[in-house]
C-alpha cells in the first residue's frame, strides 16, 4: 500500500494510467471468470429494465430456497399470493446443462443525491452473473435467453391483470378480476372449442408471425343482439390468455393523434376492445349517439364506461381511416402480441373496410339461446345436467327467440337456497310469453300487410303455429332458434 501511495505521489500521471491499464489486463487474463451486470435502470432513470425484472422473477424460486435474507411482496392474481426475492447483497447459485453459475444482488447508493421525483429511491439495484469463461458461448447464447423467457413467463403468471379505460388521451386502470370463463359461457361446445383453439394458437405463434413478417396481432369481430354474451366473451378471452384489457372509448378520443398515442401506449399481451363500433364511428368519422339513434338507455356495464356527460361534451374527429391505419400498421413496430376486438349489434351497419378479412380475422356470431347453450346456463346456475322440464324448454327454444341474458335472469334463484323447479317453470312461462308476443306481432304485421295469419293459413292449408315458424324463418331464424347463417353452415 505504502509503495503504491509513494508511486502515485511521485510518478507522472501518464505512467500511472499505463500501469493501471496493464495491471487490469493482467488480472483479467489470469482471472478465469466472466461477470455480467444487469442494472435495474438502464439509461432512462424512470424506465425499469425488462431484463432486470425478468431475472428477478427467474431467481424467485431459487432465492426462496437458498438465500438467507429475502424480500417479500404480495401480488393479487385472483387470489393473493406472496412473491419472494433475494435481499440486497445475497447470492444464489444456478445450474444449466451441468454448468454452475452464480447470481448476486447488489445496489449502488448515490452519495450526492440529485433532484428526484422519487426522493427515497436513490439506490440502483443490480444483479451480477458470474461464470467460467469456458462457458461463454453457452451462457451468452442459450442460458440468458432461457432466463429471460422463464422470467417473463413467471411474470405473466404472477402479475395483477388490469382493465384500462381511457379518459381522453390517458389510460386509467382498475384491477381486472372478472370471473367469466369459457367454461361458463353458454354456447355450442364445438363453436366454443374452435374459438379457444384459435386464441391459444395465436398466443403461441410468435415465431410464425415473425417468420411471415406480420405484426403479432389478431382481430375479432363479435356481433349479435344485446345480451348474447359479447362483453362476457371478451372477459373470458382475457382470462384464458391472461391478458390485460384496454377498453377504448372512441367517443372520448379527440382526434387521430390522440388515438395514436393511446394505442401506442398499450402493452403487449393485451386485448384492445372497441365496443359498439357501429355507434362509435361512421364513414365520415362523425359521431352518432347510440341512445339518440335507438331510443334506449345505456345498457353497458357502468364500470367500463365513462360518465355520460364526459363523453357527450366532447367533439371527436377520429376517422375510420385513422383507426384502420393504426390497427394495420402501428403495432408492426411494437413488441408483443395484441388482440383487437370489435363488438356490434348490427353487422350490416359496419363499413366493409372495417370487417374485411385480414383486418378482422375472425367473425364470431353470438346469437339467441339454443338448447345446448341453455344446458350450460342451467349447469352454472342450478347445478343440474337434466330435468323432466328440459323437453318442454327445448321445444320452446326451438320456436322462439330469447337471449342467454334473459334465460340467465329466469334461472337466477329468487330465494336461497333456490328451487330448481320454480326457476325452470319461470323460464317456461317466460318462453311461452315470448312466443305469444311474437305470434301477436306477426299477426299485426300480417294485418298491416293486408291479410291475417289465419287467412294465410287458410290459403296455404296450414295452421297459424306453422305460419309463426315461417315468420321466424323470414326473420332469419331456423326452427331450432339458430340464425339462418348458422343453419346454412350446419347444412
Ligand atoms: N352466452 C352467454 N353465456 C353466459 N352468460 C351470458 C351469455 N350471454 C349473456 N350472458 C349473461 O348476460 C349478461 C349480459 O351479457 P353481455 O353484457 O355479455 O351481453 P352483450 O352481448 O355484451 O350485450 P350488449 O350488446 O348490450 O353489449 C352477462 O352478465 C351474462 O351474465
Ligand atoms: Mg356488451
Per-residue pLDDT tens digits of the chain, which is 491 residues long: 455 555 566 666 666 676 666 666 666 667 788 999 999 877 655 567 888 888 988 888 777 777 778 877 766 555 566 777 788 888 899 999 999 999 999 988 765 555 545 444 457 889 999 999 999 999 998 999 999 999 888 877 777 789 999 987 889 989 998 999 999 999 999 999 999 999 999 999 989 988 988 888 899 999 999 999 999 999 999 999 999 999 999 888 988 889 888 988 888 889 999 999 887 765 334 434 444 444 443 444 433 333 333 444 446 678 888 888 887 776 556 678 899 999 999 988 888 887 776 778 899 999 999 999 999 999 999 999 999 999 999 999 999 999 999 999 999 987 777 789 999 999 999 999 999 999 999 999 888 877 655 655 555 554 444 544 444 444 333 333 343 333 333 33
Q: Quick one: 169 and 262 in the same domain?
A: yes
Q: Quick one: 188 and 310 in the same domain?
A: yes
- Flag whether 374 is in a domain: no
Q: How far apart are CA 30 and CA 101, in angstroms?
A: 19
Output DSSP code: residue 41. B
State in Å: Cα 231 to ligand 2 middle.
4
Q: Give the contacts of 445 (CB within 8 A, at least 6 positions apart).
A: 471
- Flag whether 278 is in a domain: yes
Q: Does residue 299 line the site of ligand 1, with CB under 6 A?
A: yes
pLDDT at residue 143 in the model: 95
State in Å: Cα 403 to ligand 2 middle.
13
Q: Quick one: 440 and 361 in the same domain?
A: no
Q: Quick one: 274 and 181 in the same domain?
A: yes
Q: Quick one: 216 and 296 in the same domain?
A: yes
Ligand nearest to the CA of 273: 2
Q: Does residue 219 line the site of ligand 1, with CB under 6 A?
A: no
State in Å: Cα 228 to ligand 1 middle.
5
Q: Which of 335, 365, 395 is the last residue of a domain?
A: 365
Q: Quick one: 202 and 150 in the same domain?
A: no
Q: Is the dihedral of CA 475, 480, 484, 486 positive or negative?
A: positive
Q: Quick one: 192 and 154 in the same domain?
A: no
- Flag whether 41 is in a domain: yes
Ligand nearest to the CA of 222: 1
Q: Does residue 442 line the site of ligand 1, with CB under 6 A?
A: no
Q: Which of 446, 447, 383 is nearest to 413 (CA)?
A: 383
User: Ligand 1, closest atom to CA 222?
Assistant: 21
Ligand nearest to the CA of 412: 1
- Flag whether 7 is in a domain: no
Helix (H, G, I), strand (E, B) or coil at 286: coil
Q: Which residue puts its alpha carbon closest to atom 14 of ligand 1?
A: 227
Q: Does residue 285 line the site of ligand 1, with CB under 6 A?
A: no
246 has which bridge partners? 164, 272
Q: Which of 158, 185, 210 is the last residue of a domain?
A: 158
Q: Does residue 229 line the site of ligand 1, with CB under 6 A?
A: yes
pLDDT at residue 458 in the model: 58
DSSP alpha helices (H): ranges in 159-242? 189-203, 206-212, 230-241
Show the domain range for 110: 25-158
Q: Which residue has the cell 399470493?
A: 81
Q: Which of 365, 396, 413 is the last residue of a domain?
A: 365
**Candidate of 277, 291, 381, 405 to mutate for ligand 1, largest count of ligand atoms within 8 Å of Cβ:** 405
Q: Which residue puts its alpha carbon closest to atom 16 of ligand 1?
A: 229
Extract the C-alpha cell encoding 92. 444464489
- Flag whether 390 is in a domain: yes
Q: Quick one: 360 and 451 in the same domain?
A: no
- Flag whether 373 is in a domain: no
Q: Quick one: 237 and 145 in the same domain?
A: no
Q: Does residue 344 line the site of ligand 1, with CB under 6 A?
A: no
- Flag whether 9 is in a domain: no
State in Å: Cα 279 to ligand 1 middle.
19
pLDDT at residue 437 in the model: 94
Q: Does residue 446 line the site of ligand 1, with CB under 6 A?
A: no
Q: Does residue 226 line the site of ligand 1, with CB under 6 A?
A: yes
Q: Quick one: 183 and 307 in the same domain?
A: yes
Q: Quick one: 83 and 197 in the same domain?
A: no
Q: Quick one: 58 and 112 in the same domain?
A: yes
- Flag whether 271 is in a domain: yes
Q: Does residue 228 line the site of ligand 1, with CB under 6 A?
A: yes
- Do 267 and 245 form a contact (C-beta atoms < 8 A)? no
Residues shown for the chain: 491
Q: How many separate domains does the chain show?
A: 3
The CATH number of the domain where 207 resides is what? 3.40.50.300
Q: Does residue 408 line the site of ligand 1, with CB under 6 A?
A: yes
Amino acid at each position: 500500500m505504502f509503495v503504491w501511495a509513494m508511486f502515485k505521489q511521485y510518478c507522472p500521471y501518464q505512467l500511472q494510467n499505463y500501469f493501471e491499464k496493464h495491471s487490469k489486463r493482467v488480472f483479467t487474463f489470469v482471472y478465469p471468470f466472466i461477470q455480467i451486470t444487469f442494472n435495474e435502470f438502464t439509461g432512462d432513470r424512470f424506465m425499469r429494465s425488462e431484463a432486470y425484472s425478468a431475472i428477478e422473477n427467474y431467481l424467485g424460486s431459487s432465492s426462496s430456497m437458498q438465500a438467507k435474507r429475502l424480500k417479500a411482496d404480495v401480488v393479487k392474481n385472483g387470489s393473493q399470493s406472496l412473491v419472494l426475492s433475494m435481499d440486497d447483497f445475497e447470492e444464489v447459485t444456478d445450474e444449466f446443462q451441468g454448468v454452475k453459475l452464480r447470481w448476486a444482488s447488489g445496489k449502488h447508493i448515490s452519495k450526492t443525491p440529485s433532484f428526484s421525483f422519487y426522493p427515497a429511491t436513490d439506490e440502483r439495484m443490480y444483479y451480477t452473473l458470474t461464470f467460467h469463461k469456458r462457458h461463454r458461448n453457452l451462457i451468452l447464447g442459450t442460458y440468458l435467453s432461457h432466463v429471460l423467457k422463464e422470467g417473463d413467463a413467471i411474470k405473466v403468471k404472477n402479475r395483477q391483470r388490469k382493465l384500462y379505460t381511457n379518459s381522453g388521451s390517458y389510460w386509467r386502470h382498475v384491477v381486472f378480476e372478472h370471473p367469466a370463463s369459457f367454461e361458463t359461457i353458454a354456447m355450442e361446445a364445438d363453436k366454443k372449442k374452435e374459438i379457444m383453439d384459435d386464441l391459444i394458437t395465436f398466443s403461441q405463434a410468435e415465431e410464425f408471425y415473425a417468420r411471415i413478417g406480420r405484426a403479432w396481432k389478431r382481430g375479432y369481430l363479435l356481433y349479435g343482439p344485446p345480451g348474447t354474451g359479447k362483453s362476457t366473451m371478451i372477459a373470458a378471452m382475457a382470462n384464458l390468455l391472461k391478458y390485460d384489457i384496454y377498453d377504448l372509448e372512441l367517443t372520448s378520443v379527440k382526434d387521430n393523434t390522440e388515438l395514436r398515442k393511446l394505442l401506442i401506449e398499450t402493452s403487449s399481451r393485451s386485448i384492445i376492445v372497441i365496443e359498439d363500433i357501429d355507434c362509435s364511428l361512421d364513414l365520415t368519422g362523425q359521431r352518432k349517439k347510440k341512445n339518440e339513434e335507438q331510443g334506449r338507455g345505456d345498457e353497458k356495464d357502468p364500470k367500463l364506461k365513462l360518465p355520460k356527460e364526459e363523453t357527450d361534451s366532447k367533439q371527436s374527429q377520429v376517422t375510420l381511416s385513422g383507426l384502420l391505419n393504426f390497427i394495420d400498421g402501428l403495432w408492426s413496430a411494437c413488441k408483443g402480441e395484441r388482440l383487437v376486438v370489435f363488438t356490434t349489434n348490427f353487422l350490416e351497419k359496419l363499413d366493409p373496410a372495417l370487417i374485411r378479412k385480414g383486418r378482422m380475422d375472425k367473425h364470431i356470431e353470438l346469437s339467441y339461446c339454443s338448447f345446448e347453450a341453455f344446458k350450460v346456463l342451467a349447469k352454472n346456475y342450478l347445478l343440474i345436467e337434466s330435468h323432466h322440464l328440459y323437453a318442454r324448454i327445448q321445444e320452446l327454444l326451438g320456436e322462439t327467440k330469447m337471449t342467454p341474458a334473459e334465460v340467465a335472469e329466469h334461472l337466477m334463484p329468487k330465494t336461497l337456497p333456490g328451487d330448481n323447479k320454480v326457476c325452470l317453470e319461470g323460464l317456461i312461462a317466460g318462453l311461452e310469453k315470448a312466443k305469444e308476443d311474437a305470434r301477436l306481432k306477426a299477426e299485426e304485421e300480417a294485418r298491416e300487410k293486408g291479410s291475417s295469419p289465419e287467412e294465410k293459413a287458410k290459403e296455404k292449408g296450414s295452421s297459424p303455429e306453422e305460419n309463426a315458424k315461417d315468420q321466424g324463418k323470414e326473420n332469419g331464424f331456423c326452427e331450432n332458434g339458430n340464425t339462418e347463417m348458422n343453419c346454412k353452415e350446419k347444412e
